[in-house]
Amino acid sequence: MHIPDGFLSARVWAPLDLVAAPVVAWMGRKAQREFDHHKIPLMGVMGAFIFAAQMINFPVGNGTSGHLVGSALLAYTLGPAAASIVMVAILSIQALVFQDGGLLALGANVCNMAIAGVFAGYLPYMLLKGRKSGMFLGGVLSLLASALLALAELTLSGVRMPPAVLTVSLGLFVVSALIEGAITVAVVGALEKIQPGFLVKPATGGGRVGLVLGSAAVVLAGAGVFVASQHPDGIESLARNIGIWSLANPLFQTPLADYQIPFAAAPWFGKAVAGLAGVAAVYLACRAAGRVLATRPGEGS
């Protein structure tokens, strides 16, 4: 789902970078006005869990894989404004440290997943008053919104996609979206069993829920390499099928590119260590963001 540098033209990525910055700032101010400081630990563990879950690709057919994006899940547990901030932190660390998504394309990825994805996921949940059907539909729409925006951005950048290839890609995105919805409902259901009423009072989620989410993040990042699909995800698969994957051109080589520790004795070990490092980095970044949000405008340090 992450668009690398080299795919989008400057006339597309530059305006999206300019749009993303003030929108994220506005979301930060909105989150700050309604933020409960008890959510700080939950922001950390939710960010770490979503980061780790995004590392686990699952097959969706035709030699293509998908993975949980988590925009809707974040919106249900943190509220849409704080969810956007957490997703921005995840996307930024992925781009800056793991070369997963481009730096120039960061604004596009933020618009697709941290803004549109979050609100497309939250709207059905809100309209259906928190029912499971709303959670499922929100998960589906969240991923579809992100995917369709990515395809639109590629089209506006002059990338030609044969109708047959585009149709197959859209079908695979629908499969991924249905799985996203199912996983979202399953995770929320599990959290509600651990702590009844969790979605009503998520600010109390730093105890058992936090422990479970944190443990799950560590397990997914450390051992997920043994179960994750090796097939390319939707955007990479599409890019390979239409012959533009060679255009992926990072601005510079990041320290843990492709989720690998340089000179690791074995690839699985390098990916596990890189994943665990990413979990720690995202956790700390999201907790730091939470502390900033907990400071009301006008308050001193």
Structural domains present in the chain: 10-293 (1.10.1760.20)
Cα torsion 110, 86, 214, 236 to 10°: value is 0
- The confidence score (pLDDT) of residue 264 equals 80
Which string of DSSP letters, residue by residue, matches 158-193?
T----HHHHHHHHHHHHHHHHHHHHHHHHHHHHHHH
Handedness of CA 248, 116, 277, 95 (dihedral sign): positive
Q: DSSP assignment, residue 79?
A: -
- The confidence score (pLDDT) of residue 200 equals 74
Rounded Cα–Cα distance for residues 18 and 108 (Å): 10
H-helix segments, the chain: 10-34, 40-54, 71-78, 80-98, 106-109, 117-127, 132-156, 163-194, 208-223, 234-241, 267-293
Cα-based angle 124, 237, 66 (whole degrees, multiple of 5): 40
**Per-residue model confidence as pLDDT tens for the chain (301 residues):** 899 999 999 999 999 999 999 999 999 999 998 888 888 999 999 999 999 999 999 999 999 999 999 999 999 999 999 999 999 999 999 999 999 999 999 999 999 999 999 999 999 999 999 999 999 999 999 999 999 999 999 999 999 999 999 999 999 999 999 999 999 999 999 999 998 888 877 655 567 889 999 999 999 999 998 999 999 999 999 999 999 999 999 988 888 999 999 888 898 999 999 999 999 999 999 999 999 999 866 554 4
Q: DSSP assignment, residue 231?
A: S
Kindly list the distances between the CA atom of residue 241 and the CA atoms of 151, 168, 191, in Å, as whole numbers in the listed order. Answer: 14, 11, 39
Burial grade of 196 (CB within 10 A; 0-12, 13-18, 19 or more): exposed
Rounded Cα–Cα distance for residues 23 and 84 (Å): 10
Q: Which amino acid is residue 222, in one-letter code?
A: G
Rounded Cα–Cα distance for residues 259 and 261 (Å): 7
String of b and e for 206-242 (b: at least 16 CB within 10 Å)? beebbebbbebbbebbbebbeebbebbbbbbbbbebb
pTM: 0.95
Rounded Cα–Cα distance for residues 281 and 301 (Å): 24
- The confidence score (pLDDT) of residue 183 equals 98
Q: Among residues 71, 78, 68, which one has the least CA distance to residue 203?
A: 78
Rounded Cα–Cα distance for residues 246 and 258 (Å): 16
Q: DSSP assignment, residue 247?
A: G
Is residue 294 within 8 Å of 41, Cβ to Cβ? Answer: no
Rounded Cα–Cα distance for residues 115 and 192 (Å): 26
- The confidence score (pLDDT) of residue 301 equals 43
Rounded Cα–Cα distance for residues 255 and 26 (Å): 31
